[in-house]
Amino acid sequence: PRVYPDDRSGRHQCHNSTPPVNLSDSKRLGPMIRNGKPCANVNRNSSMTGVQVEQSLSVVLPVYNAENTLSQQITKLLEVLPDITADFEILVVDDGSTDHTEEVAFELSKYFPQLNVTRHNCRRGTDAAVKTGMMKTRGDVVFVQDEKAQVRVSDLRRLWDLRHDDE
């Protein structure tokens, strides 16, 4: 890894350099991209139209070396979230992956504006990735999706239903 100064703290952060990802590689981009075009069944320009929503939902997805699984995770979230709320975002926090996770995430974000990506220059751990995600989300309700766990629709729906309990 190369070392670069971190502008905010003056400390040095590591930076892992990986060769560019082949965007036509369907193994990495999975069901999301075929022949360079998005193919997930979701509106790429907005979450949903014509629906009034009072609160928004953010899903924080901390990942590390997830190039082969990230597309599937994003696909599942994009299939479920529009049914829960019209106003949502997915924030992928790449915790210093040494594979092509960053490139896969950024390529997907080109097709799906609901997907935002941020990256740690080197591995800081899941807690730091979650903290980074929480600082960058815009949602009124935030769900942290464990990288290793399957997306559970029932958990997302239950979280969304609990949003009025504090009122």
pTM of the predicted model over 0.75: no
Given a contact cutoff of 8 angstroms between Cβ atoms, the answer to whether 41 and 76 are in contact is no
Looking at residue 7, what DSSP letter applies?
T
Which of 90-94, 104-108, 113-117, 162-166 is predicted with the least confidence, judged by mean pLDDT? 162-166
CA 130 to chain centroid:
11
- Cα separation, 139 vs 80, in Å, equals 16
> Is residue 102 helix, strand or coil?
helix
Alpha-carbon span 109 to 1, nearest angstrom:
26
Query: For position 15, what pLDDT does the model report?
Result: 43
Structure tokens given for 96 = 């210093």
The percentage of residues in the chain with a pLDDT greater than 70, rounded to a whole number, is 65
pLDDT tier, 165 (very low <50, low <70, confident <90, very high otherwise): low
